[in-house]
A and B are shown apart, each in its own frame.
Chain A
Amino acid sequence: MAISLDDPKKLTGLRDQAHQVAMNMLRPISRKYDRAEHDYPQELDLLAAMIDGLSESGASNGAGAAGVKRDHPENDGDDGRVRNGANLASVLGIAEMCWGDVGLLLSLPRQGLGNSAIASVGTAEQQQRFGDVWASMAITEPDTGSDSARIRTTAVLDGDEYVLNGEKIFVTSGERSDAVVVWATLDKDLGRAAIKSFVVPKGTPGMTVERLEHKLGIRASDTATIRLESCRIPAENLLGSPEIDAGQGFAGAMATFDNTRPLVAAMAVGCAQAALDLTRDLLARAGVVIDYDRPAVTQSAAAARFLQMEGDWEAARLLMLQAAWLADNRKANAMEASMAKAKAGRMASDVTLSCVELCGAVGYAEGELLEKWARDSKILDIFEGTQQIQQLIIARRVLGLSSAELR
């Protein structure tokens, strides 16, 4: 054991591979699907097939966009004590793919956040059964956003089926996915512990996709509204245990977030890196020299600003790697996952907006992608828990306060 925070040697191949895919597959169609908001990016089917092939061949652990996967111990032993496994592979790969395009990454078939939920809380049998399903994630409701303990969608057991009723909004890839992981309550009176997640296959009678949103950014990603009216699914589609365990509280369903928040941090890190890379190049061509050895105050204002942004970016990236490393090594990471998302979310907004400012009209016009990244980045400080929700989680952990004490 010895401290080292460089990217793990065994994952640099995967990272670089994802970078090549992002550069050669996603960037060329990035602006196209920003403009054609609701068109399906058909190019991604080929890419998804390629990723499946790579995973199948074992040539690549996750191929950059696999979401959360349970570790395969035989692949993850490093020196027998410290693991650099699937979680690190995922954040490194996703960051690179989002350096390409966040919206397209979110649209990749079979790589949805619902898949992360299945991996996080599903049983081994369920992971097997839903392994090839492209699953999106439905949590938010028209009247319930951050306060996800108060969702109103209900699930009622009727024989060997659950009957779901309710309305879900902001479902990423809701129209294109094969199935939707729906959060619903078994008993509104029993609070958080009664909230469970259910896999609802597309085409199930009673489930309709109602509307596609028009958005500020990540326009390549479809965002749907889903209505459930007496929608019946097999009882074995409830992910994890059907028991309402008051002691466990919200922990079951919320465990999904411990795994997805580092992934959103990775999206922010990738998007911000895209802006930083291009801005560094544009500034260099404008004659701005950035020197890591000289004090920022002795350099140009643009260089000083860039150094501050790059420092924040590197810091967010390391928090992201820390959260993933903890997960790989089976250590609790709820607070660190929130730290990574909080820091990366605010960093990405600051960096992408500042890069537009530094590059002036070149940054603001659609001729370059800087303005797009400044629109795309905003959602990363919102979904999977806003900045403020992350601050609440961190503060409760640091201060040792309950959600009743610090509301």
Chain B
Amino acid sequence: MLLLRNLRPGGRHGIAEGESRDAIGYAVAAINRLARSDLLDRWGLRRQAEQAVFTITRGGFRTATTAGRVFGRAGRRGRGGQRAVRPPARGVFDLSPTEDEQMLVDVVTELAAEVIRPAAADADAACAAPAGVLKAANEIGLPLLGVPESLGGISEERAVMAGTLVAEALAKGDLGLAVAALAPGAVATAVATWGTDEQQQTYLPAFTGDDVPAAALALTEPRPLFDALDPRTTARRDGADLVLDGVKSLVPRGAEAELFVVGARLDGSNVLVLVESSAAGMSVEAEPAMGVRAASLTTLVLEGVRVPESNILGVLDGTPGHAYAECVRLSRLAWCALSVGVGQAVLDHVTPYVKEREAFGEPIAHRQSVAFMVADIATELQAMRLLTWKAAARAAAGNDFSREVGLARTLCADKGMRIGLDGVQLLGGHGFVKEHPVERWYRDLRAIGIIEGGVLV
């Protein structure tokens, strides 16, 4: 009985295992199932637009990954790749960005305000980033931010701080679009940071050229209490190949990505593996979520996927698992920066609103219960920013930053969520409807602390 099996409780439709259905329950469920049948759609009982979204975004519609381009092998296997230099630490407490960083932030801030914000609502609804936005992001060189000059990138130094400031500025426009725009850069940054000469020569030219491929850093897996340092995706050696099996979740732009960096467990340590989308055994499924929808989130399924063993990143960098752990931390850092950007967007939106909105004969901002919420948003937001910057500055200087990024992530997840909640609350009913962006920021801010990978600084 296919129907009964589908109706059984246990993790579907939010029903816990402990629930049981009686006869009436099954009857109601069956009617509900009929109501959802595609037959209704064929009879034209649903609006066209609604159906389009439904078909694109519902789960269970799995396809092969995109065929993608051929990355011509180049460079020398086993030879260390190039590495960006570390800016020297001066030992001075300073909150001023460098001139180069400030210039970059100014450009990105303009992009966020002029291009990204206006496109955000539609991109959220469509679960896709408009080509124009991605093109604009590529034109200002976002995918190359983590690639050193010698490899065709932008910066001479390891640009962790610049990446952090850029992520913050972009997310002030929109988080989903920021993730979509930064996704290829995450892969390019990983190759630049941990790649061998062969990996860099093979993969980076595509990112420094005009036609930047979609690409994704896939670390999250779909299970409760997921720990990025304990991936269930496995890699095993078979001759000169690695064979990968597992499922990755909430992968940005997975359906169009031509190159993935996949986290997996190999011989008791964690590795990052370059996987081209054309590899056999890869499939991708739309996985729309609560927020970050413009990033076209997907589930990536790997079934017996074969890649050369030389596709492991970071084999020459420290102990096994070192590159993977650093990657997880730097990705969390990027998410912290994104949360700061969204938090700033909330603060900038509620500030004029509470001054204009009147109740009981005066602006609601004149009431302490309202004003104090705004004060707390401003205070906690600045705290999130400073802690994120501290972690970023330590990472940029090559210092251990595991403590700082761990604390920043905890703070940004907690306080970011609080800012999302209060942002909606301050607008009342108007915050709950899509007339204002605060409901989107509420959904987006919940991603911090949950999604691993996708972005990297």
Interface residues in chain A, defined as those with a beta carbon under 8 Å from any beta carbon in chain B: 1-10, 78-79, 82, 84, 88, 292-298, 307-308, 310-312, 314-316, 318-319, 321-322, 325, 336, 339, 342-343, 388, 390-392, 394-396, 398-401, 405-407
Contacts and interface: CB of A to CB of B under 8 A. Distances in A.
Contact of A84 (B92, B325, B393): B92
Contacts of B399: 6
B392 interface: yes
Contacts of B397: 4
A315 B386 CA distance: 7
B441 interface: no
B: interface residue count bin: 35 or more
B457 to A, nearest CB: 13
A399 B87 CA distance: 38
B78 to A, nearest CB: 30
Given A4-B393, A312-B411, A399-B374, A321 B227 contact: no
Contacts, number: 180
B351 A292 contact: no
Nearest to B363: A405
Given A4-B92, A82-B92, A321-B93, A297 B225 contact: yes
12 contacts: A2-B161, A78-B90, A84-B93, A88-B93, A293-B329, A293-B402, A318-B386, A319-B379, A391-B372, A392-B375, A398-B374, A405-B366
Contacts of A407: 366
B96 A82 contact: yes
Given A5-B389, A296-B410, A318 B383 contact: yes
Most buried by A among B94, B98, B384, B386: B94
Interface of A (DSSP majority class):
helix
A396 B365 CA distance: 9
B402 A292 contact: yes
Contacts of B382: 319, 322, 336, 339
B365 A401 contact: yes
B371 A3 contact: no
A398 B381 CA distance: 12
Nearest to B161: A3
Contact of A1 (B91, B96, B368, B414): B96
A289 to B, nearest CB: 13
Contacts of B402: 292-293
B83 interface: no
B394 A395 contact: no
A162 to B, nearest CB: 37
B304 interface: no
B379 A339 contact: yes
A79 B90 contact: yes
A2 B406 contact: no
Interface in B103-155: none
B206 interface: no
A301 to B, nearest CB: 13
Nearest to B329: A293
A318 B384 CA distance: 10
A82 B354 CA distance: 37
Contact of A2 (B94, B365, B405): B94
B93 A8 contact: yes
Contact of A315 (B90, B378, B384): B384
A394 B377 CA distance: 10
A5 B378 contact: no
Nearest to B412: A311
B375 A343 contact: no
B344 to A, nearest CB: 12
Nearest to A295: B227
Nearest to B405: A292
Identify the 10 closest CB pairs spanning chains A and B, nearest first.
A9-B91, A292-B406, A315-B383, A5-B390, A395-B371, A318-B386, A394-B375, A311-B407, A395-B375, A311-B411
B96 to A, nearest CB: 4
B284 to A, nearest CB: 26
B77 interface: no
B94 A82 contact: yes
Contact of A314 (B87, B228, B378, B404): B404
B89 interface: yes
Interface string B187-217: 0000000000000000000000000000000
Given A5-B389, A316-B383, A339-B378, A311 B408 contact: yes
Nearest to B382: A339
B96 A3 contact: yes
Contacts of A298: 225, 227
A406 B365 contact: yes
Question: Which of A388, A398, A400 has most chain B Cβ within 10 Å?
Answer: A398
Nearest to B354: A399
A395 B374 contact: yes
Interface in B305-330: 325, 328-329
A3 B354 contact: no
Contacts of B380: 315, 343
Contact of A394 (B96, B378, B393): B378
Given A2-B98, A314-B387, A398 B375 contact: yes
Contacts of B97: 1-3
B355 interface: yes
A405 B95 CA distance: 33
Given A5-B95, A307-B410, A343 B161 contact: no
Given A82-B96, A311-B407, 18 more contacts: A1-B97, A2-B94, A3-B392, A4-B92, A5-B393, A6-B89, A8-B92, A88-B93, A293-B325, A293-B329, A293-B406, A294-B229, A298-B225, A308-B410, A394-B375, A395-B368, A396-B371, A401-B371
Contacts of A336: 382
A165 to B, nearest CB: 34
Contacts of B393: 2-6
Contacts of B365: 395, 399, 401, 405-406
